[in-house]
Copies of this chain bind each other. A is one copy, B any other.
Amino acid sequence: MPNTKFLLAEDRIPTTWYNVIPDLPGGLPPMLHPGTKEPITEADLEPLFPAELIAQEFSTDREVDIPGAVIDIYRQWRPAPLIRARRLEQALDTPARIYFKYEGVSPAGSHKPNTAVPQAYYNKRAGVERLITETGAGQWGSSLALACSYFGLACEVYMVKVSYQQKPYRRGLMETFGASVTASPSELTAAGRAALAADPDSTGSLGLAISEAVEVAAASGGSAKYALGSVLNHVLMHQTIIGQEALLQMELADDYPDIVIGAAGGGSNFGGLALPFLREQLGGGRSVRAIAVEPSSCPTMTKGGYEYDFGDTAGLTPLTKMHTLGHDFVPPGIHAGGLRYHGMAPIISALKEADLLEARAVPQTACFEAGVTFARNEGIVPAPESTHAVRAAIDEALKAKEEGAERSILFTLSGHGHFDMQAYIDYFAGKLQD
A interface list, Cβ under 8 A from B: 1, 3-5, 7, 9-11, 68, 71-72, 75-77, 83, 87, 105-109, 113, 146, 149-150, 168-169, 172-173, 175-178, 372, 375-381, 416, 418-419, 421-422, 424-425, 428
Contact = CB atoms under 8 A, between A and B. Distances in A.
A165 B372 CA distance: 23
13 contacts: A1-B10, A3-B9, A7-B7, A76-B83, A109-B418, A169-B421, A169-B422, A169-B425, A172-B428, A176-B381, A176-B424, A418-B418, A418-B419
A82 to B, nearest CB: 13
Contacts of A107: 378-381
Contacts of A176: 372, 375-376, 381, 421, 424, 428
A379 B146 contact: yes
Contacts of A175: 424-425, 428
A172 B380 contact: no
A150 B88 CA distance: 11
Contacts of A106: 379
Most buried by B among A77, A83, A379, A424: A379
Contact of A5 (B5, B75, B169, B378): B75
A86 B87 CA distance: 36
The 5 closest A-B pairs by CB, nearest first: A107-B379, A418-B418, A169-B421, A172-B421, A4-B75
Most buried by B among A11, A76, A83, A428: A76
B172 A425 contact: yes
Nearest to A419: B418
A57 B312 CA distance: 63
Q: Interface centre among A9, A113, A176, A425, by most B CB within 10 Å? A: A176
B76 A379 contact: yes
A76 B3 CA distance: 10
Given A5-B75, A176-B421, 13 more contacts: A3-B11, A4-B10, A4-B75, A7-B7, A106-B379, A149-B376, A168-B421, A169-B169, A172-B425, A176-B428, A178-B376, A416-B418, A419-B421
Contacts of A421: 168-169, 172-173, 176, 419
A341 to B, nearest CB: 25
Contact of A177 (B3, B173, B375): B375
